[in-house]
Amino acid sequence: MAEIQIELPDGSLKSVEAGVTPYDVALTIGEGLARQSIAACFNDELVDMTAPLDASGTLALITQNSPEALEIIRHSCAHLMAQAVKEIYGDEVQVTIGPAIKDGFYYDFYSETKKFVPEDFPVIEAKMAELAKEDLSISREVMTRDDAISLFRDMGEAYKVELIEDLDVESVSLYRQGNFVDLCRGPHVPRTGIHKAYKLTSLAGAYWRGDEKNAMLQRIYATAFQNKKELKTHLARLEEAKKRDHRRLGRELDLFSFSEEAGGGLVLWHPKGAMLRAIIEDFERKEHTKRGYELVVGPQILKTDLWKMSGHYENYRENMYFTEIDEQGYGVKPMNCLAHMLIYKSKPRSYRNLPIRYFELGTVHRHEKSGVLHGLLRVRGFTQDDAHIICRPDQIDAEVKDIMKFVQDVAGIFGFDYTMELSTRPEKSIGTDADWDQATKALQSALEDSGQPFDINEGDGAFYGPKIDVKLKDALDREWQCATIQCDFTLPERFDLTYVGSDGEKHRPVMLHRVILGSIERFIGVLIEHYAGSFPLWLSPVQAIVLNVTDNQAEYAQKVFEQLRAAGVRVESDLRNEKLGFKIREAQMAKIPYMLVIGDREMEEKTVAPRFRDGKSLDPVSVTDFIDFIAQEASAHK
């Protein structure tokens, strides 16, 4: 047998016979390690513990605690779940696919007769535990494409047959554990006994291959971890997320709703939600004007020809809505760029006018498939805090830095941490090397100057320019894509935007597309969950509520209410003849920051006794002092 050299992560070399497996190599180091390892990384490729090593190379064992382990464990656990489902329901259910995803995995099943319900979860979990306890070994087989097709056809697994038929390969790999076999590239954990911490979490419908013309499948979401402790922490966080679900809080706090009569993905903003929006929009207008942006407003629909010119018709048509007026086609805007360019073009521009920064709270409509609509996070009509900066190439640098500073300020005000990513030139792209170089360098140096760490996604930029994406991290450590800054060379070209340079010649400006919060709808959804509905004072749609102790103070309480309202405090009153404790509880449920309790003493002394929603009381103050206090706190974004 030929000898091969295996280099381990610590740099040590082992001479072994060709054909040995990572498991064999692990055994030479220690039995514990061999048992703990779930897969290996051989020459930078993930392989099974049982894969024969037939060439020299580097080998790193992946133990249960390695960072790469989780995805392998989760995907393997998807097989375990599918195996359990097949053992319980047999031919009644067909298997399709089951990938690992962020936070867990899912498996999509097809059945004409079986309708999964959450009550099935404990049954499936019990079967999974049984199969894990049997500690079945998981083995890889390679089969010709035709053999694999007939194998799955004999098993009645039509979806697997279709998957293999679509593969342009000679052979495929299968993984077998007990009676269960699945088409898969792997790698997988070596034994079912590895699985000790998993939980089925929810159900959803999903079209086969994401296409609504195909059959509807039943998706079971689940999660798996290396150990029970990590699973428990994760489940506690899910529970907290459920409590904070913006759809539930949106209903409880009477902020917004959706109506089938109006149509899916179209938000109805109730008075309190509309107030919250107005507060955020006012904040945005103020923050933009003080940073040198000018407010503009474009029309909701623009001629189809214009969308052809911009390339949206060609590349983005399926996501757009169209209409017709006097036999002329119009497209409902999915983006705000075009009107901004027309405003720019409305007169000649000189290099001295640049940069020009147009800001619009632009309402756009995009066609999202009904299956992906999700509360405020994924809607069909939404408003972006959208700006287009038209500048000279030498100005990109300073502009991007200002935007980064803007993002930093805003994230701080709302109390978010954030991470950033730079996406660079993809293979298919337009624009000159020099353009890309300058723009990419500008984005990168702005990121470096921000002092925050960032990732680079090589080749992940748009075809028309590089971009920065900012992801906010909420109170539960979840990430939300919000701000983006995109450098664009195409649209100025397509729309023939020019400025007259100091040389008297016409030049082409660059356009930066950028949003700070992104979609206001989505941002509010994130905010609701981030604050669990307890908005800080400056954002609270209702900042205070006046409560009288008995009818005796009703008249004075009404006067206090009117005085506060006239002074611009967002205030409500509850003068019902109910017990004070009951009224306080209701106000707390509504998460109103301040309750102003008025009893005989307050009435005599012409004061109010503020009480914060968490139960803390402040000393009684005069109404005017309370008005000043609220104004101060709110202007400090508290």
Which residues have a catalytic role annotated? 337, 366, 384, 386, 388, 467, 513
Q: Which stretch binds Zn ion (CB under 5 A): 34-42, 176-184, 269-277, 389-397?
A: 176-184
Which has the closest alpha carbon to 494: 300, 296, 312, 302?
Answer: 312
Q: Which stretch binds Zn ion (CB under 5 A): 211-219, 271-279, 315-323, 511-519?
A: 511-519
Measured from the CB atom, the residue of 9 and 99 that comes closer to Zn ion is 99
C-alpha distances in Å from residue 592, one per residue of 107, 311, 332, 542 = 43, 48, 39, 6
**Coil, strand, or helix at residue 159?**
helix
Considering the complex, what minimum distance in angstroms separates the CB of residue 631 from Zn ion? 36
Cα–Cα distance, 95 to 390 (Å, whole number): 52
Considering the complex, what minimum distance in angstroms separates the CB of residue 163 from Zn ion? 12
Q: Report the residue from 234, 467, 513, 522 that binds Zn ion according to the rule CB under 5 A.
A: 513
Considering the complex, what minimum distance in angstroms separates the CB of residue 514 from Zn ion? 8
Measured from the CB atom, the residue of 337 and 389 that comes closer to Zn ion is 337
Cα–Cα distance, 475 to 381 (Å, whole number): 27
Measured from the CB atom, the residue of 385 and 529 that comes closer to Zn ion is 385
Measured from the CB atom, the residue of 247 and 317 that comes closer to Zn ion is 317
Considering the complex, what minimum distance in angstroms separates the CB of residue 38 from Zn ion? 13
User: Does 189 sit near Zn ion (CB under 5 A)?
Assistant: no
Measured from the CB atom, the residue of 24 and 162 that comes closer to Zn ion is 162
> Contact at 8 Å (CB) between 347 and 498?
no
The strands making up 621-622's β-sheet, listed across from edge to edge, are 571-574, 544-548, 594-598, 607-612, 621-622
What residue number has its CB nearest to Zn ion? 184
Considering the complex, what minimum distance in angstroms separates the CB of residue 601 from Zn ion? 59
Tokens representing 514?
């950028």
- CB proximity list for 403: less than 8 A, separation 6 or greater: 389, 446, 485, 512, 514, 516
User: Does 160 sit near Zn ion (CB under 5 A)?
Assistant: no
Cα–Cα distance, 418 to 413 (Å, whole number): 13
Which has the closest alpha carbon to 96: 188, 11, 45, 160?
Answer: 160
Considering the complex, what minimum distance in angstroms separates the CB of residue 482 from Zn ion? 16
- CB proximity list for 370: less than 8 A, separation 6 or greater: 264, 265
Q: Which stretch binds Zn ion (CB under 5 A): 115-123, 208-216, 244-252, 510-518?
A: 510-518
Q: Which stretch binds Zn ion (CB under 5 A): 116-124, 209-217, 285-293, 505-513?
A: 505-513
Q: Which stretch binds Zn ion (CB under 5 A): 184-192, 286-294, 549-557, 588-596?
A: 184-192
Considering the complex, what minimum distance in angstroms separates the CB of residue 549 from Zn ion? 56
Measured from the CB atom, the residue of 6 and 339 that comes closer to Zn ion is 339
Tokens representing 387?
């700006």
Residues near Zn ion (CB under 5 A), total: 3
Measured from the CB atom, the residue of 158 and 462 that comes closer to Zn ion is 462
Torsions phi, psi for 16 (to 5 deg): -135, 165
Considering the complex, what minimum distance in angstroms separates the CB of residue 189 from Zn ion? 10
User: Does 184 sit near Zn ion (CB under 5 A)?
Assistant: yes
Which amino acid belongs to residue 412?
A: G
Measured from the CB atom, the residue of 302 and 544 that comes closer to Zn ion is 302
> Contact at 8 Å (CB) between 256 and 273?
yes
Residue entry with tokens 């994924």: 378
Strands 544-548 and 571-574: parallel
Q: Which stretch binds Zn ion (CB under 5 A): 192-200, 288-296, 467-475, 513-521?
A: 513-521
Q: Could you say which residues in the range 314-343 bind Zn ion, by CB under 5 A?
A: 337
Measured from the CB atom, the residue of 519 and 548 that comes closer to Zn ion is 519
Cβ-defined contacts of 406-414 (< 8 Å, 24+): 406/287, 406/291, 406/516, 407/470, 407/483, 407/516, 408/450, 408/452, 409/287, 410/287, 410/516, 410/517, 411/470, 411/472, 413/637, 414/472, 414/527, 414/530
Considering the complex, what minimum distance in angstroms separates the CB of residue 40 from Zn ion? 16
Q: Which residues bind Zn ion (CB under 5 A)?
A: 184, 337, 513
